[in-house]
Amino acid sequence: MSGLEVKKPRACILGIGGTELSNWEKGFFREADPYGFILFARNVEDHNQIRTLTDQLRDVVGKNNVPILVDQEGGRVMRLKPPHWRKIPAAGVFGELVDKSPEDAREAAYINARLMAMDLREAGFNTTCAPVLDLRFPGMSDVVGDRSYGADVARVVVLASAVAAGLLDGGIAPVIKHIPGHGRAAVDSHKDLPIVSATRAELSELDFAPFRQMKDVMAAMSAHLLFTAIDDQRPGTVSVTIINDVIRGDIGFENLLISDDLSMEALGGSIASRTHECLSAGCDIALHCNGKRTEMEEVASMTPLLSGAALLRSQNFTNQISSFKIDKPSSSQLTDWRMRLADLLAPVWQAEDTGT
């Protein structure tokens, strides 16, 4: 083995417990060498603290390009929040603006993502789990709700594409979610398993379509839904049929597939069995978010080192992260963006709501 050969990481992304790494976490992460990390509001206090923490995570695994993820969508799903960070509109706000001016909505989505990327870069993140490509269906659980850009495929794709472009231009890798589509969930998958009875034809025409049109994005997060017309036994994250026939086949997504959080109650069985099942079904990476020691030990024990196609896809994603060369926008540029965004959103979202 040459001295330049890099150790293969373990096929998992893990959370942490608090606002700084414990001695146990430092030792565990050095030994387990997860592919990446994901942080939540419990891990975030202010600018200096979060930058110190993300730097620590890079240091503990010895990789500058280790994926460090956060769910920063806007609206209800914001881990970096006021007063330290700007208040971000929900996706549904941009969808509402489409009805007044499609071009303004697209420009607003791009600028908002560009500003969000700058905040994330300064905090030490390189990846956000956004944009959401799920369609908004009437009468369904609010687990998606205004996290969706709307009920129309074209609207979702136009706005989500603008968001992905803004994130990439700002040096943040997007992760599209929740493939192959979470919009028909009648219950919250954090608490129970949503069962979807739509036909395969309906799903392919509507739910799967945004993902098909954005299949070139380098990473996607799976959906914990049971699609009875395709696999009536196993939710998408742990279904060979959903992953092979739908995600890799019908949709044509060939890039990095990350499971949704394995600690969500939509999945049955132990954390260890969930980990094994999602990887065996075809997920490249097992995602575990809650930072609980015993559960993380189970995930690590069931997760192999990355190899084969999953290794190649994971390397492509980290290469994308390594390729970001971003100059910080000037203060005048930032002022221009913020003023323009406030003007664009004014018909649907008041300027005073944009925070600092």
Give catalytic residue positions.
Answer: 190, 260
Q: How is residue 169 written in tokens?
A: 């231009």
Q: Helix or strand or coil: residue 137?
A: coil
Residue with tokens 């007044």: 100
Using CA atoms, how far residue 213 sits from 53, 266, 310, 343, in Å, is: 36, 27, 22, 30
What does the CA dihedral 227, 180, 239, 69 come to, rounded to 10 degrees?
-130
| Angle made by CA atoms 341, 117, 97, in degrees to the nearest 5 | 30
d(CA 59, CA 96): 43
Q: From the CB of residue 91, how many other CB atoms can be counted at a distance below 10 Å?
A: 31
Distance, first Cα to last Cα, the chain: 52
d(CA 189, CA 274): 15
d(CA 330, CA 255): 34
d(CA 41, CA 32): 24
